[in-house]
Amino acid sequence: MSATPIAPHRPVWRRLIGFNMLTGLALGIGGWFLGAWIGGQMAVGHDYLLGTDQNDVGLYMGYLFGVIGWLVGLGFANYPIGRLLGRPPTLRHHETGSWTRYFRLCTDHKVVGIQYLFGVGIFFFIGGLNAMLMRTELLRPVEQAWPAGQYLTLLSLHGTMMIMMTSAFILGPFGNYFVPIMIGARRMAFPRIEALTFWLVPAAGLILMSAIAFGGIATGWTGYAPLADEGRAGMDAYVMSFILIAISLTLVGLNLLATILTMRAPGMSWTRLPIFVWSVLATSILQVLAAPVLVAAMAMVLMDRAANTSFFLASAGGSQYLYENLFWFFGHPEVYILALPGFGIVLEMLPVFARKPLWGYRLAVAGMLGVTLLSFMVWQHHLFVSGMNGSLRPFYMLTTELISIPTGFIFLNAIGTLWRARIRFTVPMLFALAFFFNFLIGGLSGVFLSDVPSDVTTHGSYFVMAHFHYTIVGGLVFAFFGAVYYWLPKMLGITLNETLGKIHFWLFFVFFNLTFFPLFAAGFLDMPRRVSTYAPSLQGLNDFVSASAYVIGISMLIFVANLIWSLVFVREPAAENPWASRGLEWQVPTPVPVANFDRIPVITSGPYEYGVPNAPPVADLAPSALPAAGS
């Protein structure tokens, strides 16, 4: 094994030529045209394509070759070809050098984490913009800005993009950046795979957006068959982008799981593992087992559309319920793929700002692992009103309600930690506290949906929509912003303006609740999801919700302004440990060196021993901690 030597300084124009994002874009576009042409040739002579105005084979081949071109342009083919030719394995690639490493294949987990932060953030804002457009349409109870079909595409793009991107929201930026540092490792187990997982994300996002050019998506984010089989060519973009994201999720899980299992520093026992790392471990288990099922389900849709198989077509022996089962076998664990890292982040922050040890550490771990296990046993509650076998309903009702017990553990941990604490109400702490407020409402409304009688009356209504926005936005997105304010001083070496941060928080928190709480009422008043028209009597309620949603949009702009202001104009250097945290990630210098540690640290105590008399430091980082290898 050998590290890549530091490249000599080269002029900017020279750095732009070679394997980087620009080359990737060029080869990706070229690959798309080549693939579409090949697909067109392949389709010649196939009767079922004659007389239709779309060639799914051509589109899929275009996307496939486009993705291959994108990855080749970024330099991902160099290593596998080299290995095929018998060259020795290496782990590191472009880890040193200038800012250009953020725009190319780089195996430094910290660079990948920052790539994720900005990459996923851009798509998150595009998804958010879609939401604003939807709320604009809903200002009036009749069609106004967009016809029904375009509205469906808008909400499908919003839902799909948000689910795809928020899946990578925590593990992408923060898991990749901080897990190796928090466990005392110098890198991830498979750094090249780590880089690949990121670069698949923009490809998936761009492909998804291309659906607009191919007739849109009519199915919502769930892509239910048989509409998915019969939809216009925009569905091909949906299928391909979801396949890419699911592959990325699988590989992220594999990488993080292997890293946590094998690369913990000496002394980093399971009971000293930071709670955030436990949440990443639990999420990774879900990702490596659930995401492949999504790939398979999407592969079946792809074959139904391009090869005329009939997995989901009842007229040819298939069943649309097969899709629903496969989709939700992934889809419900997906809910916890979103929630668990949020649990981890807020529990990581509470002891820091409460200056008390984390109450019930083992209980929290048990809660997370319990959620992981149970989340594979609840998926059929999404099918309660689909005509499923009635005798199966009680089982899935029970398992769904059972999952509230391990989830409740997390709330107990929070209450125990905050009890009689001297809380510092910093911006990250405000987001952490809001997480519990919002998630409580999301969780309690979920109990209504797990009960068959109440689910029957609320299914498909805005009640469901309000519920999952309370869990995903109120939970995950609040945790994400808490993590941004908490960890950005370490990641980017800058401090965000606290006043702007608090304005962002209060606007977001207040208007998030003003946006989504009334939608529970809209659901009870029979307002259906995914429809742009509604009863005129609900216009006042909807106008209030739209106005509140716009303020959420304004709060996001304040965050962006704060980020740009702090990063570009002020550039106030952050203290190395601004929160006085015991976390190992705060014991390393800022900016974090490429190898993280001069030598692998020896962990000497747990990370949450705040206020414990004579608690030893979390790790011995001194060069003389251990004899050097071979001495």
Q: Which parts of 98-137 interact with other proteins (CB under 8 A)?
A: none
Nearer to other proteins among residue 161 and residue 618 (C-beta): 618
Rounded to the nearest whole angstrom, what is the least distance from the CB of residue 464 to other proteins in the complex? 25
The residue written with tokens 């950046």 in the block is 177
CB of 64 to other proteins, least distance (A): 12
Task: Determine the size of the site formed for other proteins (CB under 8 A).
Answer: 71
Least Å distance between CB 112 and other proteins? 17
586-605 residues near other proteins, rule: CB under 8 A: 595, 599-600, 602
**Closest CB to other proteins among residues 216, 274:** 274
Question: Residue 292 or residue 578: which is nearer to other proteins going by CB?
Answer: 292
Give the residue ranges of DSSP H helices in 263-317. Answer: 275-306
- Told to check if 383 binds other proteins by CB under 8 A, we report no
Question: Shortest distance, CB of residue 596 to other proteins, whole angstroms?
Answer: 11
- DSSP classification of residue 590: S
Q: What is the rounded CA–CA span in Å between residue 135 and residue 202?
A: 26
Q: 98-136 burial, b if ≥16 CB within 10 A, otherwise e? A: eebbeebbbbbbbbbbbbbbebbbebbbbbbbbbebbbb
Cβ atoms of 235 and 219 closer than 8 Å: yes
Residue type, 260: I
Reading the block at residue 171, the tokens are 């593990």
Q: How far is the CB of 280 from other proteins (least distance, A)?
A: 14
Q: Which token pair is 162?
A: 């948000």
| Residue 387 is a binding residue for other proteins (CB under 8 A) | no
Least distance (Å) from other proteins to the CB of residue 293?
Answer: 5
Instruction: Indicate the residue among 325 and 497 with the shorter CB distance to other proteins.
Output: 325
**Among residues 549 and 603, whose Cβ is nearest to other proteins?**
603
Q: Which two tokens stand for residue 105?
A: 């294949």
Map tokens 């519920």 to a residue: 467
CB atoms within 10 A of CB 91: 16
Q: Which amino acid is at 400?
A: T
Q: Which of residues 2-41 bind other proteins (CB under 8 A)?
A: 3
Q: In the complex with other proteins, which residue's Cβ is closer, 7 or 316?
A: 316
- 185 forms part of the interface with other proteins (CB under 8 A): yes
The number of angstroms, rounded, from the C-alpha of 234 to the middle of its chain's C-alpha atoms is 23
The continuous run of DSSP H or E covering 616 comes out as none
| Closer residue to other proteins in complex, CB, 315/537 | 315
Interacting span for other proteins (CB under 8 A) from 158-166, 286-294, 377-385, 548-556: 286-294
Which position among 80, 147, 149, 593 is part of the footprint of other proteins (CB under 8 A)?
Answer: 80
**Given the complex with other proteins, which of 322 and 551 has the nearer CB atom?**
322
CA atoms of 137 and 141, how far apart (whole Å): 9
- Candidate ranges 11-19, 338-346, 513-521, 620-628; the one touching other proteins (CB under 8 A): 620-628
Residue in 478, 476, 512 with CA at minimum distance from that of residue 167: 476
Positions 307 through 346 that interact with other proteins (CB under 8 A): 307-311, 314-319, 321-322, 325-326, 329
Sign of CA dihedral 534, 538, 544, 545: negative
By CB under 8 A, the residues from 291 to 310 that bind other proteins are 291-293, 295-297, 299-300, 303-304, 307-310
Smaller CB distance to other proteins: residue 204 or 298?
Answer: 298
Residue selected from 84, 142, 569, 613 as contacting other proteins according to rule CB under 8 A: 84
DSSP state of 174: I
Q: Which residue has the tokens 């009356």?
A: 457
| Least spacing, CB of residue 622 vs other proteins, in Å | 12
Contact between 140 and other proteins per CB under 8 A: no
Which of 155, 141, 58, 57 has the alpha carbon at shortest distance from 539? 141
Interacting residues with other proteins between 230 and 269 (CB under 8 A): 250, 253-255, 257-259, 261-269
Residue 219 DSSP code: S
Residue 118 contacts by C-beta under 8 Å, 6 or more apart in sequence? Answer: none
Residue placing its CB nearer to other proteins in the complex, 80 or 394: 80
Which 3 state secondary structure label does DSSP give 620? strand
Q: Does residue number 88 form part of the binding site for other proteins (CB under 8 A)?
A: yes
